[in-house]
Amino acid sequence: MTRQVHVFRSPDRFLAGTIGQPGEREFFVQVADGRRILSVACEKQQVAVLADRLGSLITQVAQQFDVSVPQTGSGSGQDFALTTPVDAEFRVGTMGLAWDGEESQVIVELLALSEEEVGEDIVLEDREDGPDALRVFLTLAEARDFARRAELVVSAGRPPCPLCANPLDPEGHICPRLNGYHRGAIG
């Protein structure tokens, strides 16, 4: 099967979102440009890492190239709910980030989960071999907006237990700090 690289330059929307209740949420990254919408499934930790690394990249670019980053991008007032129905094109395995200094854009690439190891030479390349990919070009402000929103999505889950930091369910949980005794419900 031929590799598909889905490219979005200056999309209308690029966001992380979830479907489901805390504790049972499914995480997605979705990009939209006009009527063209593409979603990819990912893990909560992948969204957290992507947000963190984008923040680091933005800081590094701003310092190294003396670039000022507007506080918000053009989509700052938009609704950040996923467009439904959400039909994931693939599940994310490898992620890549780059800075295009000539175009002053951040490049985010999310590659499909693959049974074969994906080398660095596949990321951000249009070679025929390798997993399917989503490649998105963003301004620094759009990348910052994505990172901030992604951090909020990740932190909107179940609150942590004050004793063990494991997620608390509404019914409570079995807390290892209480030697396996049930810790009461939230509230």
Topology (CATH) of 5-156: Secreted effector protein pipB2 fold (3.30.2450)
Which residue has better confidence, 163 or 117? 163
* pLDDT for res 74: 53
Predicted confidence (pLDDT) per residue in 107-149, tens digit: 999 999 988 776 666 666 777 778 999 999 999 999 999 999 9
Q: Is residue 96 pLDDT above 50, yes or no? A: yes
Domain boundaries, the chain: 5-156, 160-187
On whether the CB atoms of residues 139 and 105 are closer than 8 A, the answer is yes
Task: Tell me how far apart the alpha carbons of residues 127 and 131 are, in angstroms, rounded to a whole number.
Answer: 10
Helical H runs in the chain? 44-64, 140-155
pTM flag (> 0.85): no
State the DSSP code for 86. Answer: -
Handedness of CA 101, 102, 106, 108 (dihedral sign): negative
